[in-house]
Structure 1
């Protein structure tokens, strides 16, 4: 059904017509002034212009309202004749729709349909068009690149199969083999002057302890469990305490060996009785007590780190009591500082095969590694944090091994003529003259 007549804009309706009320042929009350009933029925027409200036109204749909909650709109878009400039049905929007992965942000001072599309934050998504708010993903999930889906995170840890884990494991094993080789050479040449100097028993203890230091770094690799979390820090604290206290005992042995050349029975008795050897059990028992307190207060445990990497959950060992951990580390640092101080004071003593200089340099390397370790350790997370701790263990152990034993290893294997009684007598006679 269509009609052909000029269209009068609503603003031109005569004031008298606004007061007209009548009943149409369908029996409905009609008023131009107001709608008295909730029921409404409208025909929707499309205006089609012709070259002669006529306009044609073509019915393209209708709207009916039976009640406030039951409304119906019927529209036939195929019958609509749009001007040539329009390629498709225009949208009554101020802004383009926001697709999945974005949310609407209203523009202040403009209409409600005017907004800008903002991409969801890193851990949030939106999975429908024109989302008002983004939805956060769970801790065990992460967002895809489009920010419209939550994907499950993969559980990971510093494994032996990883490139970084494999490299650290190979370094630890290589240093372990080297330490075992040095120990074998020292045992084989145990009766030579250079091995006897400065208490060979302490040298054996230090080499065995360094071997355990290199091997304990392997506890930090692989999938963490309750046993490895407990053994990591406890083993680390104890073996390094034994190593540093052994260095302290060797330094005191150098001082006693120099003092014994002067009158005094007390110093001689201390050297003969091996009093310096008691330093190791005393220092180690103090560290054992700290570790027992640590295990009693708050022992290490397995922790799921879901925030260090966006698409992985990292299995790590939580230290438990941070205070206990730093007490163990602080006690170890105080021992290292004491060893460095004593070795530095004894570095120029005129003793045969005096290793105080090597002990001083070894403790300087040891302290430098662990002073550097603390800020780097706190600035990293996840697997990198574990790798930093392993590297510090390997570097400090290698410093002790290289600075103390490699010079002696060189003399035993490369310069055996210096490691004999004849060379020792020549050295003493030249010093005397």
Structure 2
């Protein structure tokens, strides 16, 4: 990359309100233009936490705020959640939504145009593929899949059935992240040789609980879906499914996907890494039902020599430059801390502060980043241009796949060599077995979508 005089660069590339406003219409078009009269009917699947309001970031809450979008059904395997959500949506929209426990019934409803999926990770791929086959557009949470093979088939289904499939990596709709991308690609940091995604978030010990009877209103078979059948256990159900291998993609998939996705965007990584090594363990959880690690550190080496890392610590720990979560980018002329709402740069050998930005600098103000992201999805549904998505399913697959590769290295206990184009490991049949899973009929991802 052509080198730049750092002082001249700072003068030319300073982040100004005018500059932010100039780029905003691309990301806020659903708010700025007159909405078409035609209403888009959406069903939301998975309504606990992220699917409902989720501290302002929930699916139901943000979709209900977009003009001419109507939530017509909500779906969950736990009927006990329906009263609060139905009542809450009626207060938000004035409409009383219908309920469903089986996702497949949503696909039978010809009045539903699109589905928004906030179900557990192990369900994302099958529900997305089914929806595409049924002619529905999809918003699916990260991580997009439970395996690498599932992610590729989701991309294939989206393209084959011409569906608009957005991934819930909402940093890609952030004006802050867009500005960071622009500065780095102009050369502010020099040649970027490394990126690191980190998540230092303490997680409580879930302890041990015995198997028990299935609670009234819980459709346990539908919850397990593609996963092996296990007796009902509270430590395998609401949120605790994150900590057992049958349903979990580990904290790598749950949280690390966000950080690595931002790095891929900034560094314009469009291929998979070729060498992967991950170490870690489950510490201080003797007697716990948790199976997945609470500490992992993975290194991903690319064919061009650049290196990405992901580290998660779910125990007591120090900060990383004063932060507990985010993305770091390292270049020959400086480094950057980046999250969805802020970036800071530090330049030269003395790490002098360079350009920085927060969401508070954006004019007009961003009320909810998720609303921009959902709005981009709705815009693309109307235009039928999946190419204009902020987070197309292919990008979600590429970022999620990295977390899967890290987990596979951890589970096999060795450094792995990966063929990026074939999406297979090099002469390693054992590692290849982790690229897919054994499905429990009838919840089977088809060989051909």
TM interval, short-chain normalised: under 0.3
Higher alpha-carbon Rg: 1
Say which structure is richer in helix. Answer: 1
Higher relative contact order (CA 8 A, sep 6+): 2
TM-score, structure 1 as length reference: 0.19
